[in-house]
Structure 1
Amino acid sequence: MVYINSLIGFTVFLLVCKTRAFIPNQNAVRFTALGDWGGKATHPYTTVVEVAVAKAMGNVADMYQSQFTLALGDNFYEDGVLSVDDPRFQETFENVFTAKSLYNPWYVVAGNHDYNGNVQAQVEYTNRSKRWEFPSYYYNKRYNIPGSNATILFVMIDTIILCGNTQDDIPGAELSGPDDPVRAEEQWQWIEATLKKSTDDYVIVAGHFPVWSIAEHGPTPLLVNRLKPMLEKYRTTAYFSGHDHNLQYLKEDNSTVEYFVIGSAHVVDPSIEHKNSVPPGSLKFHYADTNSLGGFAYIEVSSTNATFTFVDAMSAKDIYQRVLYPRTK
């Protein structure tokens, strides 16, 4: 089901898409984002949706000269990887996302399924791959926006360290809290210090578990209670996540923070089980068409605004667009 602000707005959006000149903005930071893309544990180690997303994302990245990708966790289904030599790195990543336009940095975070295996091996794979960038369980990356003094900061966080892992074999099971409270607190302190000192024009925090979601897993209470106040206090631009296997955009009326769920690069799940668990009116867009082949996001950030676009993998066409603006200072 697709939620669009108004029929008029959608009509204008379609007209813009039809007439858009496909010329990348050289005075912008341009990148793609996807979550929950990690194939499957048996031959051929991919899903139809993952292969379609890889093809469409390669085409979009080529068209706009994308500079990097954010990979938002659940990188290898069902149980991550065993070691840095695990063939899944080839079978589910290197041999699937083969477009030349995707041979640039992939900034990676871990998801709950990755924690069923060896996350440290995924970190170590950074030294094996020319594009896999996973230097630590949580880290940040800053880009200068060409033609200006503006910058964008990416704060890549590990939500499993913060919240604990899920038990996917138990329907309705909730997160039990961090396995290592000391380690979790260290990351909380790092997140707050990073956000507090940032003077960047845009700040995007990215992790696997969502803050808000209407789908199968729903909101993450610990993130709602502790991360959301930080995002608001320090005027974070947006929070990107995966975990639920669909595309969502949410924004509370009394907050400037924008929430994007980008989790349909492996399978598509139409669940709206938690539609009443998010703030009233906060859901602006939801796409989970099981006849589609999933989707991903393309983002273009200039010094004056940032355009976030959800892309349908089957058609490689825009299905929703949101314009964001630099933070007030």
Structure 2
Amino acid sequence: MNEYRKGTVSTVLYSGSSLPYEPWSTDINIGWASDSSLRFLAVGDWGGLPSKPYTTHIETSVAHAMGKTAAKYQTKFTLALGDNFYFDGVKDVDDTRFKDTFENVYTDKALQTPWFLVAGNHDHRGNVSAQIEYSNKSKRWNFPNYYYPLHFTIPGSNATVSILMLDTIQLCGNTIHDKLGDQPQGPKDIEKANTQWQWLESSLENNNASFIIVAGHYPVISIAEHGPTSCLVETLMPMLYKYKVTSFFSGHDHNLQHLQVNQSNVSVDYFVIGSGNFVDPSTAHVSKVPSGSLKYHWANILKPGGFAYIEATPQTMTLSFIQGDGTYLYSHSMKPRK
């Protein structure tokens, strides 16, 4: 594991209707439902096209299904897991892609809740700082920094959900050709990568949340086109077990996957949620993941993509994969950390 210095950690706290950001001075208001669960969506690799119509049939189908799901369950926010704009990100904060691929696509009233975003490898081919700056122009686009924490209290309880949003491209570097098995080439800025690793470990070591989700674009393990990300297997994976993280959310591979790996009596669930815009049926790396770890894989090229719906109660956190036509595909429940 890399060597990095300990430091202070800024925290974003979500425990009711007032959601202060520090040190980014952003306030968001969420009206909690009068029940005892926290409900939200997750979607990855949703970033449309760089030319007209600036979207795909899969993206618009998934957006519609997300809206229906959000309305049905009164979800409070959405996690967007990178590759927000294909194929080369955005140029500046006034880029029309923000409207053409995001604002004008996810139009359902139930999706006008906060979106929390991280960057993907395609975003890093453009101007990620412009995506961060766009947080000041959009009521729902919340991208306060390259990496940041979210902490929620489950309504009606003292149970909590902690979500640590990572920039895995800053940690591991970008890919060159983004083709079969193409691995990140190493961080562009070693100091920034080490600072983020230090921040992550500091955020985990004193974290008493009932459930911890770590989220980033690259998968730790995957059976699909890109396969496991060696940088994350080497450095991140040991942290997940050391600090008993509940699950890791990612995209990058354009399908839906659930893998579960047990080490030293700790079980971590890995979810790939990368079919918000494309579907790729590759299983090229099925032999590269731990034996018996694959629990579910979906990549039906005849169907319009998919996303995830998550519901957390004090007793359990359940993730469900939903197809872009609204069909429920698969669910898995996780218990609170001990």
Q: Structure 1 length as normaliser, TM-score?
A: 0.91
Alignment pair present for 1:306 and 2:305: no
| 3-state DSSP of counterpart to 2:275 | coil
Aligned to 2:92, which of 72, 83, 97? 83
| 3-state DSSP of counterpart to 2:288 | coil
Residue-by-residue CA offset, 1:84-133 (whole Å, 9 max, x unaligned): 00000000000000000000100000000000100000000000000000
For residue 191 of structure 1, what is the aligned residue in structure 2?
200
Q: What displacement does 1:168 show? A: 2.5
Aligned to 1:281, which of 292, 296, 307? 292
For residue 11 of structure 1, what is the aligned residue in structure 2?
none
| 3-state DSSP of counterpart to 1:136 | coil
Distance in structure 1 (CA, Å) of the matches to 2:183 and 2:148: 26
Q: Which residues of 2 match residues 22-33 of structure 1 at below 5 A? A: 26-33=35-42
Alignment pair present for 1:290 and 2:290: no
Structure 1 residues 288 and 122: CA distance shift in structure 2, 3 A: same
Alignment pair present for 1:324 and 2:334: yes
Distance in structure 2 (CA, Å) of the matches to 1:175 and 1:56: 32
Q: What displacement does 1:162 show? A: 0.4
Q: What displacement does 1:147 show? A: 1.1
For residue 245 of structure 1, what is the aligned residue in structure 2?
254
Q: Which residues of 2 match residues 168-247 of structure 1 at below 5 A? A: 168=177, 171-247=180-256
For residue 272 of structure 2, what is the aligned residue in structure 1?
261
Runs of 4+ in 1 over 3 A off after TM superposition: 169-173
| 3-state DSSP of counterpart to 1:265 | coil
Distance in structure 2 (CA, Å) of the matches to 1:285 and 1:143: 28
Q: What displacement does 1:170 show? A: 5.8
Cα RMSD of the aligned pairs, angstroms, is: 1.1
**Unaligned 5+ residue runs, structure 2?**
1-32
Aligned to 1:65, which of 74, 84, 94? 74
**Unaligned 5+ residue runs, structure 1?**
1-23
Q: What displacement does 1:25 show? A: 8.1
Distance in structure 2 (CA, Å) of the matches to 1:251 and 1:277: 14
Q: What displacement does 1:252 show? A: 1.4
For residue 282 of structure 2, what is the aligned residue in structure 1?
271
For residue 116 of structure 2, what is the aligned residue in structure 1?
107
Distance in structure 2 (CA, Å) of the matches to 1:304 and 1:251: 20
Distance in structure 1 (CA, Å) of the matches to 2:104 and 2:328: 26
Q: What displacement does 1:172 show? A: 4.0
Distance in structure 2 (CA, Å) of the matches to 1:213 and 1:69: 23
Residue-by-residue CA offset, 1:188-238 (whole Å, 9 max, x unaligned): 000000000111111100000000100000000010011010010000010
| 3-state DSSP of counterpart to 1:257 | strand
| 3-state DSSP of counterpart to 2:199 | helix
Distance in structure 2 (CA, Å) of the matches to 1:172 and 1:256: 26
Q: What displacement does 1:169 show? A: 5.6
Alignment pair present for 1:159 and 2:168: yes
How many percent identity over aligned positions? 55
For residue 18 of structure 1, what is the aligned residue in structure 2?
none
Q: What displacement does 1:253 show? A: 3.6
Distance in structure 2 (CA, Å) of the matches to 1:272 and 1:137: 30
Does 186-195 or 171-180 show the bigger shift?
171-180
| 3-state DSSP of counterpart to 2:307 | strand
Residues 280 and 299, structure 2, Cα contact 8 Å, conserved in 1:
yes
For residue 46 of structure 1, what is the aligned residue in structure 2?
55
Distance in structure 2 (CA, Å) of the matches to 1:73 and 1:229: 23
Residues 182 and 226, structure 2, Cα contact 8 Å, conserved in 1:
no
| 3-state DSSP of counterpart to 2:254 | coil
Distance in structure 2 (CA, Å) of the matches to 1:271 and 1:175: 19
- Structure 1 counterpart of 2:294, one-letter code: L
How many pairs align? 304
Distance in structure 1 (CA, Å) of the matches to 2:209 and 2:321: 24
Distance in structure 2 (CA, Å) of the matches to 1:170 and 1:276: 18
